[in-house]
Amino acid sequence: HGDRTGRDRPDVISRRSAGAVSRGGNGIMVALADRVAALSDWQRSLLGFCLGVAAAGALPPAHALPLLVPAFTGLLWLIAAAPSPRRAALSGWWFGFGHFLAACYWVGAALLTDPDKFAWLAVPAVIGLSAGLALFPALAAVLVFTSKRTGFSRVVVFAVAWTAAEWLRGHILSGFPMNLIGTSWTVSEGMIQMVAVTGVYGLSFVTILAAAAPALVTEQRVDATMVKHWRVPALMIAVLAAIWIGGTVRLAVQNPSALEGIKLLIVQANIPQELKWRADARQAAMKKHMRMTLAVPSGTVSHVIWPETAVPYDVSNDPNLAAWLAEAAPEGGLLFTGALRRDRDSAAPRRLWNSLHAIDATGALRATYDKHHLVPFGEYMPLRSIMSAAKLTHGNIDFSSGPGAQTLQVPGLPPFSPLICYEAIFAGRVTSDGSRPGWLLNVTNDGWFGNTAGPYQHLQAARLRAVEEGLPLVRAANTGISAVVDPLGRYLGRLPLGTEGVLHSPLPRALGRTPYAVLGDWTMIIVLIISLGIVFWRAFRETS
């Protein structure tokens, strides 16, 4: 039992015998690290779970950033004291399980919108999702353990491994890059300017590096002093301060002007999800959007934007409906609305798309976009050929995927990149490879998640895309949070969650291509390669 708990391990004994002075002179931190090393297996698991929950507190909307320090310092202690790779993996897994359980609990709310069908799945779905996502922190923990690095090198390997695991989480299978650690900084306009260079993954890297640096205070050194042990944490504070100062200067220097003649109207009708697809309520919901739009004085609006599936019918095959919707389009302008779209060919198997249409004042569809990054289990069932379960969204037909990211051209506006729902959370994948758009248009329906953290987290993820790409973001959400964000991530206006209202806003000009818009994730990869190079160089010096 002594080997499992760490009480009799040589490294723990030697660290105790070294005393507080030889490990930095901070008795409290040394005592905490020793107590972590001496925990039994179940205590390690419980501590890892609690630390993961604490780290989730730094995410939107709470933004309790100081919690990141004990969370990631504690996790690094758990990994360092693990007696085997398996134990290190379990520490990482329990951390991840607690983290994602606390951060993504709102997934269960979506299953409660149709309780007769899906309520029984709410708890198992959240637990299953959290358990699966926890594999990525477990992988990071194994990589740190097997590197066998100590001191500053171990902290760097930890930050590299965590960032790489986040990137994998955002790309493997269909990807789920929600609640990346870098998103915690969306509370600060100055801090998030860094993503224009490195993307959100680079901001995650610096955050983990800073949050785990205090673990160095307990590292054993022959010539240890208080100053030397606190040198790296102090340096990381200086790095964070430099990022904030640089971002603040960027905000002060750059002030994109509004495009002339463009007056946007975003309609947030606040339709409850349980009513949205009811046969006796669909038309009323659509008419509510129309009524709210026409209540705005004419001449004050050039373009109107309704949210995802604001029109719960197939506009593309219904000229009468398109003509009725044309009443909401200002003269010389457009109505943008989410809607369903069905295949015209009745002879083929019926296909269905989650679409966005731009409709002019004559009822003509000037542009159409089909969502391509679909939500597994929500908009389609994976392995449909062997699974007969119903998808979460309305209807029995799985949605089909569109051709991919596009830049659409419409009269009276700069070209734009349409993003439906959670397509906006994927860093580096919100624009096409062709011509650069002048703005991002995100229509969504966060009514699935009620008054939970989900809509706040979704908004902040989308907001980071604006800063990464140097493009303004216009967001229309059924129940909120609708917003207009300039290319620097500043709000020009927003409507609160769970409220009915309209938002008037100009459209800001785009900035030039940011480094991230040019290089994408290669900026982050270069940072990670340089960091690993420093680790290898230090290892070479130690052995030479």
Please give the C-alpha separations between residue 292 and each of 56, 277, 285, in angstroms, as whole numbers.
Answer: 38, 20, 11
Spatial CB neighbours of 484, under 8 Å, sequence gap ≥ 6: 264, 266, 472, 473, 474, 475, 491, 492, 493, 494, 503, 505, 507, 508
Is 308 designated active site? yes
Per DSSP, helices labelled H in 104-214 are 107-111, 115-118, 122-133, 135-147, 151-169, 195-212
Query: For residues 52 and 99, is the Cβ–Cβ distance under 8 A?
Result: yes
373 three-class SS: coil
Catalytic residue among 166, 276, 421, 469: 421
For Cα atoms 488, 490, 491, give the angle at the middle one, nearest 5 degrees.
145
Q: Are 49 and 94 in contact (CB under 8 A)?
A: yes
Listed as own residue / partner, the contacts of 491-499 with beta carbons closer than 8 Å and 24 or more positions apart are 495/266, 495/268, 497/446, 497/451, 497/455, 497/456, 498/270, 498/451, 499/268, 499/270
State residue 258 phi and psi, 5-degree precision. -85, 150
195-212 and 226-253 are packed helices; what angle lies between their axes, rounded to 10 degrees? 160
Residue 470 and residue 511 in contact, taking contact as beta carbons nearer than 8 Å: yes
Contact yes or no for 108/123 (Cβ under 8 A): yes
Catalytic residue (choose from 263, 276, 371, 391): 371
Strands 439-444 and 303-305: unpaired
CA angle 96, 102, 106 (to 5 degrees): 120
Asked if residues 137 and 161 have their Cβ atoms less than 8 Å apart, the reply is no
Residue positions counted in the chain: 544
Which residue is it, tokens 């785990």?
212
Task: Quote the CA–CA distance of 502 and 296 in Å, as a whole number.
Answer: 9
Classify 261 as helix, strand or coil: coil
| 327 among known catalytic residues | no
**What number of other Cβ atoms are within 10 A of residue 234's Cβ?**
11
Q: Which residues pair with 370 in a beta bridge?
A: 355
Residue for token pair 């719960």: 312
Whether 421 is catalytic: yes
SS3 433: coil
Q: Which of 2, 30, 36 is nearest to 17 (CA)?
A: 30
Active-site annotation holder among 166, 308, 423, 469? 308
**Active site members:** 308, 371, 421
